[in-house]
Structure 1
Amino acid sequence: MDTIYGNLQGLKPSQLKQLKRLYHQRLPSDNLTTPEFAQRVAAISTDIQQPLCTYINRRGQVIRVAIGTPTQTKIPPLELPRYGAERLCGIRCIATQLKSETPRESTLTAMAIQRLDALVVLTITGSGMIRRGGGATGYIKETYLAHLLPPSNSQGNNKVDSKLLNWSVSSPMSLDILTKQDFQELVEELEAEFRRQFVAQQVDVDQDRVLIIGLMTEHISPERFEDGLAEIGRLVETAGGEVLGVIQQKRTHPHPQTVVGSGKVEEIALTTQTLAANLVVFDRDLSPAQARNLESQIGVRVVDRTEVILDIFAQRAQSRAGKLQVELAQLEYMLPRLTGRGQAMSRLGGGIGTRGPGETKLETERRSIQRRIARLQQEVNQLQAHRSRLRQRRQQQDVPTVAVVGYTNAGKSTLLNTLTNAEVYTADQLFATLDPTTRRLPIVDSVTGKSSGMLLIDTVGFIHELPPPLVDSFRATLEEVTEADALLHLVDLSHSAWASHIRSVMGILRDMPITPGPILVVFNKIDQVDSDTLALAKEEFPQGVFISASKRLGLETLRQKLVELVHYAIATQ
């Protein structure tokens, strides 16, 4: 491997030859460098008048030669031989600099992002001498040694704080003193401390340690942005992750390659290491290319909001119908991300270099997923037909139906249990219910005194910007909403963003292919709100009903309003 990285423009063939010869050098495993190797690197850097970086593994082999600073030539985390918060990467960097100065913070940041064993910076004199036989001397003025230090106060601290990441930078020293440093002992001591702190942080190895990234653009209000961050945090916790911290950035538009700016990506990478996070979650959807770019620069898995929601749905699905719809949504989400790897991985795209026998693993995987999606689509269609027949039977019995809709965790299942004595699973969690549940509610008309009944249908909760794969895959479930005679829109009044939740739910209902029936807005959890919030809601929604399903407050009023709602719905059909 004789590849020279960086900007090679203007280099002479003889200079390229000297650079490639560095790959044939072998250094002792217990020394940072040797005087001969350091002087040779400095001599080449002086000749080309550019900074030069050489990366060396623990066996003393030169594995990468690059023209530029450590910041410009850093190795992507996913290309490093070993990577993780509990250890160093197994590579040290010998770099040159043209000016006499302490290593810059950007240089040290590059060291930290790569988790280098050590960084040696050689300040060149600008002149020197090549001895007979090829040896160089006099090219190095001074040297610096830098390495990471374990965070002194990271244990038990889940807040994002760049000061947690420490490094040590020596004072200027001579090359002779540098080469006498015991490199092997230094690395062993550092890694032992890193491992000790890493083990102390790992309370549950099966739990994802998550860093959340939020991007505020000009189209998002500060309130909506804060609500969104709180919601993605709740989603992560519902999915079983531990939120270690949140990093925010404000930009006019998302960066097309990485969503956030390059400096913020470096901050994310550093914070990920500092907090020993193994997952980064963005508060918005990512394109396949953005996810790949971010993972290559950060070094851990990067997922978006939709993927977190899909994971929750996968955990919550209990019935065969629910599991079927979740699998379909996951595959439809995954397929474009396979395609997004580009034509370079496909031999079937046509053109020079793409023709040949067989097909790649990517093509095979894509075909398999497409076949599975087709089968699942057929099963979902059958599920739609089955539920349509059930609805027709209910309609023939002339029993009115009311679908209970609302933002996730508004208390829909609790209300159904309270009104009908059902035993639907309830929990203070997002998306606790996936499968629609139908129960009969006995009612008495207050005017005529006649007893009758209606069917209440508990449906899957909505959320702001409901992912399109879920809308498509759960169409059989969502049809329960559009086919109902009327809707009961339940709102969690105790949530600070209740008004935004109403807008989100109404937006989803407006986008449905069939316009739903009349809607009764019901505010839940009034026992948990102050008088000002209650007064504001009553002022904005004078026709609303105010209840507490768990405390059984306002239920009689709700029953009568449901009777009026059903009468109105039937009369206007």
Structure 2
Amino acid sequence: MILPIETIYGHLQGLKSSQLKQLQKLYHQRLPGDRLTTSEFAQRLAAISTEINQPVCVYINRRGQPIRVGVGTPGQTQIPLLELPRYGVERLSGIRCIATQLKADPPNQAALTAMAMQRLDALAVLILSGSGFERRGGGATGYVRATYLAHLIPQPEDTLRPQANEAGEEPPASWSVSPPLSLEMLANQDFVDLVEGLEEEFRREYTARQVDRTQDQVLLVGLQTDTLPIQRFQDGLAELSRLVETAGGEVLQVLCQRRPRPHPQTVVGEGKVQEIALTVQAVGASLVVFDRDLSPTQIRNLEMQLGVRVIDRTEVILDIFAQRAQSKAGKLQVELAQLEYMLPRLAGRGQAMSRLGGGIGTRGPGETKLETERRSIQRRITRLQREVDQLQAHRSRLRQQRQHREIPSVAIVGYTNAGKSTLLNVLTAAEVYAADQLFATLDPTTRRLVITNPETQELETILLTDTVGFIHELPPALIDAFRATLEEVTEADALVHLVDLSHPAWQSHIRSVMAILTAMPIVPGPILLVFNKIDCADGDAIALAREEFPNGIFISASAGLGLETLKQKLCHLAHYSLVHAGG
């Protein structure tokens, strides 16, 4: 980490030039590598603080070299988290803070929180003479009256709660604060022994829960607003957790907050942001995922304060789609959706985006890298849009051929993981990939289903299409980009709306799917409601579904239950749709 030499941070208003020079000279001090501080350095720091009548903080690396001098408390002068090295939960940052304090109290919550957020090796607080401190722990002469030493301690695994931490619940303490010490006792502290002992404790504590570092270690954050019912909020968090796991991440912990409305700058409140930062450090999270869409400004502010990557629900879904798309059409549509999502979020995505790209010869500094990226993405979006339009026209011709042959088509729609691909496989032996995952398949698959008409005993052919799963608040970018898939819905003669009856939020899933279908530019044909996974659903859910939807069909695709009844209904549905279309 390289910082501008002799730059003084913090509250500098009213300071004389001579006082600023004294502060700048602190950068030229060098402390012994095995000592937290020396009496001479502490007294000099305290003298400057006494003269300007403000607290002063000096941040020192393990070579004993000051790298940051600030006027103010540890919370006011802390190093931005993005500038700190990240070694993981088994190591500290390699930086300690020596801070003066005008009051005789032990270091407060704000100072200890700043220490934890930066994972400082230690925080030494110098209580100045004249602060009203009684002579305890030996006292001291000169400017330093007494001292406190604080450092982090590892949290046992059972305190790292995976369940949601509701608003107002204090996170477990992760630090230790000494009783008052004399300056001599602080100066004689073996710093190397202290740091090595602490890091060994962290390594021992976290060895038992080492994880695959190729996975993102994720902290989920949920915000419950006044307009969001508690059950809907909890269902959304559970679904987000499944989405993260489907994308290949591991959810370490979930934090929640209740607010009337999202904070415009950071979504959650200032105190919750600090708690998130502390939890990130405590559990070793490499990614923070919010349960709602974030603006570019909110992402930028949160990443600056948390020191790790921050993404929202839409970006998780886009990542899943990027992993699962197999066909050329699917890959094109995923890339298009990602670029359209990324374009307004370029600003603030790392310092590189704000630097000038130098030119050769007479080109001069040229356009910024941000502008270059934006132009490049715009060109790529235009080209992808053209290719998607061509694919859309090709699919339209194929559908016209099928309609010319008067073969009825039925699209299977439903919430993600409702069992659509499993049902297609069971009915048509399609061998489409099916798994207990969200968005296991993305590309539409059409197969012929041959059914014996129960009335005429003749063979009937129906085209069954498996479509991409819907989800609550499907990101608009995905609705636009997956036009080809969704057109299989709007162009189908009829729909099978498949519902996972074993899911506790099955009623909410029905409403979400119907809301998306209603918003389609073309009104779909007749809809047959089919309840799946009845072998896993409880009796109360089945009874309620039968009462609310008496015309529904109840099946288990994996267990083969109710499939003959479904085939007969499909035959009637296909005939009805053809007659209706012809009339």
Fold match, TM over 0.5? yes
Query: 1:17: Cα distance to partner?
Result: 2.8
Q: Secondary structure at the match of 1:168?
A: strand
1:36 equivalent in alignment to 2:40: yes
CA contact (8 A) 2:71 2:77 kept: yes
Specify the code of the residue in structure 2 equivalent to 1:18: Q
Output one character per residue of 1:5-47: Cα deviation in whole Å (capped at 9) or x when no partner: 2222233333333222322322222221222221122122222
Equivalent positions of 1:53-452 (< 5 A) are: 53-126=57-130, 138-153=142-157, 166-339=174-347, 345=354, 357-452=365-460
Moved more, 294-303 or 116-125: 294-303
Moved more, 13-22 or 162-171: 162-171
Output one character per residue of 1:427-486: Cα deviation in whole Å (capped at 9) or x when no partner: 111111111111111233333444321111000100011112211111111111111111
Query: 1:536: Cα distance to partner?
Result: 1.0
Q: Distance in 2 between matches of 1:141 and 1:469?
A: 62
Alignment CA distance shift 1:127-1:12 (3 Å): farther
Specify the code of the residue in structure 2 equivalent to 1:193: E
Alignment CA distance shift 1:340-1:403 (3 Å): farther
Alignment CA distance shift 1:342-1:82 (3 Å): closer
**Counterpart in the other structure of 1:18:** 22
Specify the code of the residue in structure 1 equivalent to 2:579: A
Moved more, 527-536 or 117-126: 527-536
**Counterpart in the other structure of 1:536:** 544
Which blocks of at least 5 consecutive residues in structure 1 are unaligned? 129-135, 349-354
Q: Secondary structure at the match of 2:125?
A: strand
CA contact (8 A) 2:243 2:438 kept: yes
Q: Distance in 1 between matches of 2:227 and 2:441?
A: 32
1:501 equivalent in alignment to 2:505: no
Q: Distance in 2 between matches of 1:168 and 1:223?
A: 39
**Counterpart in the other structure of 1:561:** 569
**Counterpart in the other structure of 1:352:** none
Output one character per residue of 1:161-195: Cα deviation in whole Å (capped at 9) or x when no partner: 87665322111111112111111221122223334
CA contact (8 A) 1:164 1:274 kept: no
Output one character per residue of 1:338-379: Cα deviation in whole Å (capped at 9) or x when no partner: 14669993879xxxxxx9641222222222222222221121
Equivalent positions of 1:435-514 (< 5 A) are: 435-514=443-522
Q: Secondary structure at the match of 1:457?
A: strand
Q: Distance in 1 between matches of 2:131 and 2:227?
A: 56
Q: Distance in 2 between matches of 1:219 and 1:9?
A: 44
Q: Secondary structure at the match of 1:528?
A: coil
Alignment partner of 2:31 out of 18, 27, 31: 27
Q: Distance in 2 between matches of 1:78 and 1:242?
A: 23
Moved more, 72-81 or 443-452: 443-452
Output one character per residue of 1:96-145: Cα deviation in whole Å (capped at 9) or x when no partner: 111111212221111111011110101111389xxxxxxx9721110011
Aligned length: 560
Specify the code of the residue in structure 1 equivalent to 2:61: N
CA contact (8 A) 2:407 2:462 kept: yes
Q: Distance in 1 between matches of 2:416 and 2:454?
A: 32
Q: Secondary structure at the match of 1:55?
A: strand
Q: Distance in 1 between matches of 2:164 and 2:62?
A: 32
Specify the code of the residue in structure 2 equivalent to 1:529: A
Specify the code of the residue in structure 2 equivalent to 1:391: R
**Counterpart in the other structure of 1:131:** none
Specify the code of the residue in structure 2 equivalent to 1:472: D
Q: Distance in 2 between matches of 1:282 and 1:439?
A: 39
CA contact (8 A) 1:160 1:271 kept: no
CA contact (8 A) 1:39 1:137 kept: no
CA contact (8 A) 2:220 2:253 kept: yes
CA contact (8 A) 2:300 2:348 kept: no
**Counterpart in the other structure of 1:132:** none
**Counterpart in the other structure of 1:49:** 53
Alignment CA distance shift 1:143-1:405 (3 Å): same
Query: 1:273: Cα distance to partner?
Result: 1.8
Specify the code of the residue in structure 2 equivalent to 1:100: A
Alignment CA distance shift 1:127-1:469 (3 Å): closer
Q: Distance in 2 between matches of 1:342 and 1:159?
A: 32
**Counterpart in the other structure of 2:8:** 4
Taking structure 1 as the reference length, the TM-score comes to: 0.92
Q: Distance in 2 between matches of 1:197 and 1:11?
A: 46
Q: Secondary structure at the match of 1:490?
A: strand
Output one character per residue of 1:136-163: Cα deviation in whole Å (capped at 9) or x when no partner: 9721110011111223446997567876
Taking structure 2 as the reference length, the TM-score comes to: 0.91
Q: Secondary structure at the match of 1:260?
A: coil
Alignment CA distance shift 1:180-1:159 (3 Å): farther
Q: Secondary structure at the match of 1:572?
A: helix
Specify the code of the residue in structure 2 equivalent to 1:419: L
Q: Distance in 2 between matches of 1:143 and 1:432?
A: 59
Q: Secondary structure at the match of 1:284?
A: coil
Q: Secondary structure at the match of 1:96?
A: strand
Q: Distance in 1 between matches of 2:344 and 2:420?
A: 34
CA contact (8 A) 2:103 2:131 kept: no
Which blocks of at least 5 consecutive residues in structure 2 are unaligned? 133-139, 358-362
Alignment partner of 1:523 out of 503, 526, 531: 531
Alignment CA distance shift 1:335-1:417 (3 Å): same
